[in-house]
Amino acid sequence: KLEALGIPYTIIERQHDLGGTWLLNRYPGCGVDTPNHFYSYSFAPNPGWTRFFSSQPELQAYLADVADGAGVRDQIQFSTEMTAAKWNDDLGRWIVEISDSDGERTIDASMLVCATGHFNEPTPVRFPGDEMFQGEVIHSTRWPNDLDLTGKRVGVIGTGATSMQLVPSIAPEVKSLAVFQRSPQWVRPVAEYRASVDPATSWLFEHLPFYGIWYRFGQFWRYGDGLLRFLRKDPDWPHPERALNRINDRHRQEMTDYLHEQLADHPELVEECLPAYPAFGKRILLDNGWFETITQPHVRLVTDPIASWEEPGIRTDDGVLHEFDVIILATGFTVTNHAARFDIKGRDGTTLAEDWVDQNPRANVGMTVPGFPNLFVMYGPNTNLGHGGSGMNLAEMQTRYIMACMAAMAERNATSLEVHEAQRTAYTDWVDELHEDLIWTHPGMTTYYRNPEGKVRSPMPFRLVDYWQLTSDIDPDHYVFSTGDR
């Protein structure tokens, strides 16, 4: 949008190339678990997807094509990191410190947009004695290009979305595989998950007017907005410990039946794999051959807690020593601090981390923070899609809102805008009130969606279409506009 309007901009990119998540994550089996026909930009449809759920190389190639086609790549400073940013009230500008191979330097900007996303900082995981292990330790986001697991004894810590893709992909080549599970996950089958787009369907996407738009709308409803109404608590439902309402209980039963079907010959695994919390309390995972994999003779699911690491491998609380050549950490990402991990100082010198202390990030419409003029946090607090949806669509909505803020500033000849504290508080209180009726405040599970105080600070409590309305334009009364020399 900035490129199309001729507004000068600079993109600071820590990595050596574009792609974000789809550049960092290259582990075997890496890909989307939401349909890529709506995991793409509305202004850049791709009728040539080879699969309904594409793999990492195809996704990164798509993003590169979009960036190149829009002329954006030339404005990206790769292998460059923002180390600090401070608002200068006299200048009405952000003073940004950046670092690259040539050293450190400072640039200034009228607006600062943090588009760092959720899933790029690996969760720091430490275990007693982990420095003693003599084998190789790999985090899934730091996958070596030359890693060969053939004939190796491999341990994988974690059973989330990454593990669901990784474990079935590496199982055929390893000698043995142990998967350490802290808590079971709800898993459902999707027929198209590993299916290729057939030629006839590809023809429809390419040649039939509006077919792609209609298909995309259907995916939005099926995997996103149409689901949220079934994640509300029914106060009259007699079984709140297992489900929120009648439909949620039906979803639970469908996935339970599928689990029993898949593990029919392995009843000892049923209890270990069946979650106790309501369906959708955590992100639903798509079956990538998970149950088929964990029932193979050389694969075992370990549910005893990890006690310590030793030279040969991992010892669990039951006293068993599991010996490995390679341990893979599929432990996810640190998502609760968002942009607060950067040294960003606002108007009075307060850092964003201080404003968001105690893992309690708060921002009006998930983007603007009092005391931080002209700062926008994309994919910020309460904009994660816990009920499903399109991150690309979210980015487009937030982009439109940022552009509306820029337009409002131009109309007023303003050098800055800053959201009122009262507006942020009112918005946050409203979000908290909505979440009280939704699944993510259910006490039956632990999840990164909630902070230690029990506040839900990751998922949004409304549909994407509702967020579209919230971000379709700026309400000037929510902001203070400052004018001065430009």
A 10 A CB-CB count for 11 gives: 17
Q: Which whole number is the average pLDDT over 183-211? A: 93
C-beta of residue 250 within 8 angstroms of C-beta of residue 242: no
pLDDT tens per residue across span 68-119 = 999 999 999 999 999 999 999 999 999 999 999 999 999 999 999 999 887 7
User: What residues contact 110, with CB distance under 8 A and at least 6 apart?
Assistant: 92, 93, 94, 374, 415
pLDDT tens per residue across span 213-226 = 999 999 888 888 99
CA dist 189 and 289 (Å) reads: 9
Rounded to 10 degrees, the C-alpha dihedral 145/150/153/154 comes to 40
| Residue (of 209, 161, 206) closest to 187 by Cα position | 161
Q: Confidence class of residue 124 from pLDDT cuts 50, 70 and 90? A: confident
Task: Indicate if the pLDDT at residue 486 is higher than 50.
Answer: no
Q: At what angle do helices 199-207 and 211-220 cross, to 10 degrees?
A: 110
Q: Which whole number is the average pLDDT over 25-46? A: 91
CA dist 260 and 458 (Å) reads: 32
Say whether 202 sits in a helix, a strand or coil: helix
User: What residues contact 97, with CB distance under 8 A and at least 6 apart?
Assistant: 82, 83, 84, 85, 104, 105, 106
| Residue (of 133, 155, 132) closest to 322 by Cα position | 155
pLDDT tens per residue across span 395-432 = 999 999 999 999 999 999 999 999 999 999 999 999 99
C-beta of residue 43 within 8 angstroms of C-beta of residue 105: no
Task: Indicate if the pLDDT at residue 232 is higher than 90.
Answer: yes
Q: Confidence class of residue 120 from pLDDT cuts 50, 70 and 90? A: confident
Task: Indicate if the pLDDT at residue 56 is higher than 80.
Answer: yes
How confident is the model at residue 336, as a pLDDT? Answer: 67
How confident is the model at residue 175, as a pLDDT? Answer: 98
How confident is the model at residue 340, as a pLDDT? Answer: 85
Give 229's DSSP letter. Answer: G
Task: Indicate if the pLDDT at residue 484 is higher than 70.
Answer: no
**Chain mean position to CA 239:** 31
Q: What is the mean pLDDT of the chain?
A: 94
Give 110's DSSP letter. Answer: S
How many Cα neighbours within 13 Å face the side chain of 188?
Answer: 16
Helix, strand, coil share (%) of the chain residues, nearest 5: 35, 20, 45
How confident is the model at residue 119, as a pLDDT? Answer: 74
pLDDT tens per residue across span 344-367 = 999 999 999 999 998 899 999 999
pTM of the prediction?
A: 0.93
Say whether 268 sits in a helix, a strand or coil: helix
CA dist 266 and 211 (Å) reads: 44
Say whether 375 sits in a helix, a strand or coil: strand
pLDDT tens per residue across span 266-311 = 999 999 999 999 999 998 999 999 999 999 999 999 999 999 999 9
CA dist 456 and 190 (Å) reads: 28
Residue where the block lists tokens 């900035």 = 2
Q: Which whole number is the average pLDDT over 329-333? A: 86
pLDDT tens per residue across span 434-455 = 999 999 999 888 888 898 899 9
Q: Which whole number is the average pLDDT over 60-66? A: 95
